[in-house]
Structure 1
Amino acid sequence: MPYDRTFNWEPSRRWVRGYKGAVAVVDSRAAVLVWEPGHPVPRYAFPEADVRTDLLRPAENPPAGTHEGATRFFDLVVDGEVAYNAAFEYPDLPGYLSLEWFQRAEPVLDRWLEEEEEIFVHPRDPYKRVDPIPSSRHVRIEIGGQVVADSREPVLLYETGLPTRYYIPPKDVNFDLLVPTDTHTRCPYKGQASYWSLREPVEGVPADVAWAYPDPIPAAAAIKDHVAFYNEVVDIVVDGVKEERPVTLFTTRLAEN
């Protein structure tokens, strides 16, 4: 896995396209994956010839000190709509352009494809695995002393860098204790999630504590409609043994909700 304190890049053999509306701004079979220091997920950079540079103009107000010292920034103009600082060049990758993708309030492009599959949020990391495996373990989820789910048919999802997530079949979840919310998130490895909060709030348990993927991507089909809970804030008992609550990249955010 690329070291997270240095600038790394490697070729990708995937055909990558990015669209603004119906306009293909990027169409490349020679993309490279780039890992910036301190960023846990990669982004793509593309040969300039594979980017619609006719839609780019020098940035009016380029940001300083971002993207490993990039000094060349470009605004993207499509059908009169401007996305500022949408593209940039890494000093260590001359001749390649990267487009802003994630961590922006408004996305630069509307749609990204790897081959014919739409991808969300950020490129999938080839060094990260997401393995949903059906199990016969006995898993019980408790919140505030109440049993919210109890199953001997969970799907255990093993994801690099995260604790095991226990996805429970809907028949084994007590939905009387939950209420659906309007929250939706996207994951590049699983798809779009829908959420539930507790019907009766419990101190220390945030909103949107449970989620499911009604229409997961094919690689995660085993978790379809199954419900998972944040291990960080609920009690999970597996085969009679209560698990410790892990500290993860979600812990701080959950504490703030």
Structure 2
Amino acid sequence: MSTLPTERAVRTTPEGLLWEPSARWVRGRKGEVTVVDSRHPVLVWEPGIPVPTYAFPRQEVREDLLRPAKNPPTGTHTGSRIFYDLDVDGHLVANAAWTFPAADLADHIAFEWFRRIGRGLDHWYEEEEEIFIHPRDPHKRVDAIPSSRHVVVEIDGTVVADTHRPVLLFETGLPTRYYIPREDVRLDLLEPTDHHTGCPYKGTARYRSSRTQANIVWSYPDPLPAVGAVKDLLAFYNEEVDITVDGERQERPVTPFTRTVPSPK
């Protein structure tokens, strides 16, 4: 007996929100205090924002730690009705939580993520795995696949990488990233920096700069298991360098990362 794939259970609201239930056990902490402990979270996509956030039934939130916001923002989170300040052991976090105006989500509360915008809850967990920046989108794939393609990377006309053993990383909504072994990269032309970023799909990235562009290349010293094949390999911003694959020069894509790479000071 065959079965059909389950259809995507996304709902829409008149306000333009998309949301769907999640089966994951989600917890959020501020310091050592658990503020959210939910087995019935929902994922919410706001208009114009490509990544989701979680919202939680009120009964799975420590509402005793929430206070009506003293200075609620306007024009954020799709016209949210109510904002809350979070009070944990006398430490007040302004506008840390909110409710959406949609009737479907009236009994749910959403929270900011500290590592995404600089305020909100410090640590988030799906089951027993800590996640960073924002929830992972269940409709997004990230695949790291070893390849034998010939990849050449140039910066300002100088070849800085040349390999026949890249790992290609395919991530929904982004251009293919070419991760290159260190032995095939001109590390003498790249200077390590203190910059780092977090990704809920890949882990924490460290960066290097060229002589003309800051933080143009990154690597994952300790990637998440799903993309373990990119460990310690180096990837360049396709948006800002010239990449040739199997003799074919690739067009520089336009993405949210375009023109965000500054020149070194």
What TM-score comes out, normalization by structure 1 length? 0.93
Q: How far off its partner does 1:82 sit?
A: 0.4
Q: Distance in 2 between matches of 1:241 and 1:91?
A: 50
> Paired residue for 2:168, among 146, 156, 173?
156
Matched, 1:16 2:23: no
Amino acid at match of 1:44: Y
Report the equivalent of 1:34. Answer: 44
Q: How far off its partner does 1:255 sit?
A: 6.3
Report the equivalent of 1:232. Answer: 239
Decide whether the 8 Å contact of 2:116 with 2:134 is kept in 1. Answer: no
TM alignment of 1:212-227, pairs within 5 A? 212-227=219-234
Q: Distance in 1 between matches of 2:167 and 2:119?
A: 33
Report the equivalent of 1:197. Answer: 209
Q: Distance in 2 between matches of 1:100 and 1:256?
A: 31
* More displaced 10-residue stretch of structure 1: 99-108 or 80-89: 99-108
* More displaced 10-residue stretch of structure 1: 55-64 or 36-45: 55-64
Q: How far off its partner does 1:102 sit?
A: 6.0
Describe the superposition over 1:39-97 as per-residue Cα deviations: whole angstroms up to 9, x where unpaired: 11000000001100011111111122321221211110001110011111112111100
Q: How far off its partner does 1:156 sit?
A: 0.3
> Paired residue for 2:254, among 230, 238, 247?
247
Q: Which aligned runs of 4 or more in structure 1 are off by greater than 6 angstroms?
A: none
Decide whether the 8 Å contact of 1:154 with 1:167 is kept in 2. Answer: yes
Secondary structure of 2:143's partner? strand
Q: Distance in 2 between matches of 1:231 and 1:171?
A: 20
Q: Distance in 1 between matches of 2:71 and 2:250?
A: 50
TM alignment of 1:128-147, pairs within 5 A? 128-147=140-159
Secondary structure of 1:222's partner? helix
Matched, 1:49 2:59: yes
Matched, 1:98 2:105: no
Decide whether the 8 Å contact of 1:102 with 1:122 is kept in 2. Answer: no
Amino acid at match of 2:24: R
Amino acid at match of 1:81: H
Decide whether the 8 Å contact of 2:54 with 2:111 is kept in 1. Answer: yes
Q: CA RMSD in A?
A: 1.8
Count, aligned residues: 251
What TM-score comes out, normalization by structure 2 length? 0.90
Return 5+ residue gaps in structure 1 as ranges.
none
Amino acid at match of 1:171: E
Gap change, CA 1:256 and 1:146, over 3 Å in 2: closer
Describe the superposition over 1:204-229 as per-residue Cα deviations: whole angstroms up to 9, x where unpaired: xx210000000011111010000000
